Structure 1
């Protein structure tokens, strides 16, 4: 029983440290949504197809499961090219189990 006064502060500090580490890891995961990786692939394709456009901001429209081996995230971009504003949708297909990119397809849509 002589060691019990020392035991409590160490245990308390260890618990606080573990709580801090756990909450920081959760916070780090929440900072970047899971579609951000596919948003970057969509941005790269938009920049390739519309090199004169400077706009890289997008709106995430959602995810759908295409099949057992393919999912698709959809993004919408507003690009300006040659003085004309266009609405472009990017469809990013990927393998949900391996997180490998399958393809990126762009289409211009009417607002």
Structure 2
């Protein structure tokens, strides 16, 4: 019992001292860019949350992260996807596409 408590105490100290820090997901940077783009495309609408759709590996060091937003335009709900293509090697954005999903 003392051994377990000692381990728990050590882990708590590590968390408090910052040795074990929670990392932000690497897609967060591109999620913030996606939010800014959707806010610009749908002004006056509150956009604070999105659903991360996942990552597709493309070629070499390129990947594409997808995001889904639910916004309201003229009183009508609209689903919007944002796809951000970027390089893992230099962490730079290469392409961004915004698309409304229709027929739902």
| Structure 2 residue 68 is matched with structure 1 residue 68 | no
Q: Larger radius of gyration, structure 1 or 2?
A: 1
Deviations 1:49-103 (A, max 9, x none): 1112212310001001111142100000001111111000000111111100112
Whole-angstrom CA distance in 2 between matches of 1:25 and 1:76 = 34
Alpha-carbon contact 1:41-1:104 (below 8 Å) kept? no
Residue of structure 2 equivalent to 1:55: 47
Q: Structure 1 residue runs of 4+, over 4 Å off?
A: none
Residue of structure 1 equivalent to 2:3: none
Alignment partner for residue 79 of structure 1, among 64, 71, 79?
71
- Say how many residue pairs are matched: 91
The offset of 1:25, in angstroms, is: 4.0
Higher helix share: 1
Residue of structure 2 equivalent to 1:93: 85
The offset of 1:28, in angstroms, is: 2.8
| Structure 2 residue 30 is matched with structure 1 residue 41 | no
CA RMSD of aligned residues (A): 1.9
Whole-angstrom CA distance in 2 between matches of 1:25 and 1:88 = 39
| Structure 2 residue 27 is matched with structure 1 residue 27 | no
> TM-score, normalized by length of structure 1?
0.72
Whole-angstrom CA distance in 1 between matches of 2:32 and 2:46 = 15
Whole-angstrom CA distance in 1 between matches of 2:71 and 2:98 = 12
